[in-house]
Amino acid sequence: MGILQNLSKALGIAKDMDVEEYMDTVELENVDLLHEPADFYVKPVALESESDIKVIMDELKQKNIILLNITPMMRNQNKLKQLIGELKLYVTKLNGDVARIDNEKLLLTPAKVKIVKKRA
């Protein structure tokens, strides 16, 4: 038996447990309560309506990094372009950065946090 198998057996983690299922379980156990609060957070936000723009801007003001899911807004391409334009303008004025992760996700950073966009 390998080290990871022994460890998972000792911890009571089933060999066939899905990683996503395990992560959901860990999140439900409020693991963050065991740690000190962080200065800044990475927060997932779904862009579902125009009102989400204010939430995103407020989070960026608090120096949090936003992982933005644009899937809910993809059915309305014109509105999506408008809202992303507003966010880009805001982030630029804030001296932050924006990068596309994939077709459905963007990464938005607050002031003085830049994203390396070149692949190594």
* DSSP-based three-state secondary structure for 98: strand
Beta-strand pair 42-46/65-69: parallel
Dist. CA 102–CA 82, nearest whole Å: 19
In the prediction, which pLDDT does 71 show? 95
- Write the pLDDT tens digit of every residue in 51-106: 999 999 999 999 999 999 999 999 999 999 999 999 999 999 999 999 999 999 99
Dist. CA 98–CA 68, nearest whole Å: 10
Q: How confident is the model at residue 117 (pLDDT cuts 50, 70, 90)?
A: confident
In the prediction, which pLDDT does 1 show? 47
Regarding pTM above 0.95, the answer is: no
* Domain assignments of the chain as residue spans, ordered by start: 3-34, 42-109
State percent of the chain over pLDDT 90.
64
Dist. CA 116–CA 104, nearest whole Å: 19
CATH topology of domain 42-109: Translation Initiation Factor IF3 (3.30.110)
In the prediction, which pLDDT does 21 show? 60
Dist. CA 32–CA 30, nearest whole Å: 5
